[in-house]
Structures are given as C-alpha cells and as structure tokens.
Amino acid sequence: MNLRLQKLRKLLKEQNLDAILIASLPNIIYFTNFSAFTTIDRDAYLLITKNKQYIFTHGIYKEAVEKQVSHFELISIQRENPIGLAVKKLVAEQKINKLGFEAFDLRVNEYDRLVTFINKKILVPTDLVHQLRLIKTPDEIRSIKDACKLGDKAYSHMLKNLRTGITEKKLAFDLEFFIKNHGADISFPPIVAFGSNASMIHHVPTDTKLKRNSLILMDFGVKLNNYCSDMTRTVFTGIATEKQKEVYEIVLNAQKKAVDTLQSSILNPKSLINAVDIDKTAREYIIANGYPSMPHSLGHGIGLEVHESPRLTMISKDLLKPGMAFSIEPGIYLPDEFGVRIEDLYAIENNELKQLTNSPKNFTEV
C-alpha cells in the first residue's frame, strides 16, 4: 500500500499536481484495501497530497475505517461538513494550487457542488490512478491468477453437472453458488446462454431449458481478494452441427492467431505492441472466413475492475507492455442461430505471455 502511495506521488510530481481527489471505488480500494464501501451511495473520497493522505467518509463507516485504514487520516463528512468544505480547508492549509480529480467518475452535480467551495481553476481532470493500475505488480498478477484458478475449478464443476432440462438460470445460480461457497465473489453476473440465446452477447439467463444437441455459452468471472477473473467457454450437448463445429474452430483459431501474434511481438523487445493490431488479427481472420465482424472488442484489461485498461479494440491507442493483464475473447454471433465465444486471460510477465485461465477449450461435445 505504501509503495502505491510512493508511485502515485512520483506521478503527481511528474504531472505537476499538488494533490489528487479520488472518488472511484476501485481506486479507493487500490490505496486502502478497504472494500466495504458500496456503489449504492457515494460513501468515501480520498485526498492524497505530497506528504499526507486523507480519507473522507460518513459516520456509518467511521469505526471500521479507523480500524482498517489507519494509514489514512480520517475526516468525517456529513451535510454540515460536505466534501467540498473539507477539501477547501486542506487546499488552503496545504497551499494546493493544482488538484487532480476523477472526471470519469465524479458526477456533474458533485462537481458543481465542489466548485461552490473550490476555485474551478485549480481542478485538473486526471486518470493518474488508472495509469498506475495499468501496470500490475507480480503480487497483483498473482491475485488475478488465484481468481482464475477458482474460475477454472468452477468451470470443471459446471461441466460435470450439465444435464438436459436444467435452465440457464439454474446453471448461472449453481456457478455463482460454487464461487461464493469457495469464499469468493462473482466479478459480474454470470452469462449462461443456450442455443440461439448465445447470439446475444450480454444475454441474461432465462428459464430456457437445456436440450440435447444444443450449445451452451458460459461467460463468468471470480472476484477474489478484490481482484477479478473472466473467462468464456462454449460447449455442445449431444452432437453439434457442421456449421457449429466450423464456427467453433474459426473462433478458436482467431484466438490462437491473436495470441501467436502477441507472443512473437513480445519476443522482439524493440517492437511496440499496438493493442489495435492484436484486435485486427483476430477480427480479420473471422471476416476472411466469411463471418461477421465481432460487435465487441477483442479484449479488455482486468484487475480490480473486470473491465479496465488496456483496451484491445479496433481504435485502441493502447500499447501492450509487461505487467499488463487482459482478456482475448473472439466471438462469432449469428442471430436466431447461435453464438460462440472463447475467452481467456493473459498477462505479459517479463518477456512472456502467460495464460492465466487454464480450462480446456478443445471442441467439446458433452
């Protein structure tokens, strides 16, 4: 935690900021490891200056924060001492002339209230903490791996329990139950889609029953010690059609091509790896095989959030570098027919691309 503060202060200095006001929940967790705040209300903010760090929260978290976030000075906020007023005092006391704030998270009305206390001119939008979080420490990658391992276990458990007649809802429920029963959380509501439902990328599980000679797409993730995993597998019950087999192999090859391209780029230490090129490799392979371009990106970074930087999209400007962790998840979607997606997580560690999820993905009829 202290190392993270040090790194942040180095970045603050580089970007000529005297301090940063942090509002986003994952960023608060990044510096405090305190994960009891909710997204229901705005429960807390952090202010990190050149040599001090403060946590602002309501009375209802006071006791827990005092005990668990002792490396931050606690300032209670309430209607009579709103965040704006509390920050104003510190801005004056510590002569803060440039204060970074998180425009990607702060609401318009929070900002409007803030500038009734603080001169708008000192506020500078920044995504400094995202820049920090983009490059994971070995500890962070280990945490993601731990989440992936439990995800693999959950998947193998699910495979054993597939039977005709089970509903998408029940399967999603069993998946969630398995994960939570192992002391973890889900990183997002599991997607379980049978047959033609699988062409809807963010399908919400229904009462549809599993039939013989159908297809099952499962996209789910684990959250363990605040770090997320994410994976997708598509399997077939009974016998798949020739078209399904073909589509499956194309998706699998698209992933393989993206991985191979990435791996060989990593081996060339002089080359810059553009995320956009990795997306292109998989996307164009799918199109070249006569199937529609994916209506989503090839992949996304992962860590404290299930979707974060880097982005592997058609227009990404991100470079892929050591310490980054992300998904590679090509898919083919044929409305009213079916959909296939295969997703794994990878991290660049030193000069190697490591696969973090390790469930089998050969074409499977169960």
> Is residue 103 part of the contact set for its own copies (CB under 8 A)?
yes
Q: Given candidates 111, 153, 277, 323, which one binds its own copies under the rule CB under 8 A?
A: 111
Minimum CB separation of residue 301 from its own copies in Å reads 13
Q: With CB under 8 A, what is the number of residues at the site for its own copies? A: 50
Helix axes 275-288, 242-267, angle to 10 degrees: 150
- DSSP letters spanning 205-233: P-SPBP-TT-EEEEEE-EEETTEE--EEE
Minimum CB separation of residue 59 from its own copies in Å reads 3
Of residues 147-206, those binding its own copies (CB under 8 A): 169, 173, 176-177, 180-181, 183, 188-189, 199-204
Of residues 330-349, those binding its own copies (CB under 8 A): 335
Minimum CB separation of residue 338 from its own copies in Å reads 12
> Is residue 125 part of the contact set for its own copies (CB under 8 A)?
yes
Minimum CB separation of residue 112 from its own copies in Å reads 7
3-state secondary structure of 75: strand
x-or-dash pattern for its own copies, window 306-335, by CB under 8 A?
xx-----xxx-------------------x
Minimum CB separation of residue 92 from its own copies in Å reads 23
Of residues 73-92, those binding its own copies (CB under 8 A): 79
> Is residue 106 part of the contact set for its own copies (CB under 8 A)?
yes
Phi, psi of 258 (to 5 degrees): -65, -45
Q: Quick one: 285 or 333, whose CB is closer to its own copies?
A: 333
* Spatial separation of the C-alpha atoms in residues 229 and 343, rounded to whole Å: 11
> Is residue 107 part of the contact set for its own copies (CB under 8 A)?
yes
- DSSP letters spanning 175-202: HHHHHHHTT-EESSPPEEEEGGGGGSTT
Question: What are the beta bridge partners of residue 295?
Answer: none
> Is residue 108 part of the contact set for its own copies (CB under 8 A)?
yes
Minimum CB separation of residue 311 from its own copies in Å reads 11
- Beta sheet of 123-125, edge-to-edge order: 73-76, 53-57, 44-49, 19-22, 99-101, 123-125
Query: What are the residues whose beta carbons fall under 8 Å from the beta carbon of 64, sequence distance 6 or more?
Result: 34, 36
Q: How far is CA 67 from CA 1, 61, 343, in A?
A: 16, 10, 40
> Is residue 61 part of the contact set for its own copies (CB under 8 A)?
yes
Q: Quick one: 3 or 315, whose CB is closer to its own copies?
A: 315
Of residues 244-283, those binding its own copies (CB under 8 A): none
x-or-dash pattern for its own copies, window 196-215, by CB under 8 A?
---xxxxxx-----------
Question: What are the beta bridge partners of residue 125?
Answer: 101
Q: Quick one: 199 or 281, whose CB is closer to its own copies?
A: 199
Phi, psi of 7 (to 5 degrees): -60, -40
3-state secondary structure of 309: strand
Structure tokens at 199: 């062409």
Chain centroid to CA 347: how far?
13
Which among 271, 281, 284 has a CA at the least distance from the CA of 319? 271
Q: Quick one: 176 or 349, whose CB is closer to its own copies?
A: 176
Minimum CB separation of residue 233 from its own copies in Å reads 18
Q: Strand 215-220 relative to strand 231-236: parallel, antiparallel, unpaired?
A: antiparallel
Of residues 19-48, those binding its own copies (CB under 8 A): 35-36, 38-41, 43
The site for its own copies (CB under 8 A) is made up of 35-36, 38-41, 43, 58-64, 79, 101, 103-109, 111-112, 125, 169, 173, 176-177, 180-181, 183, 188-189, 199-204, 295-296, 305-307, 313-315, 335
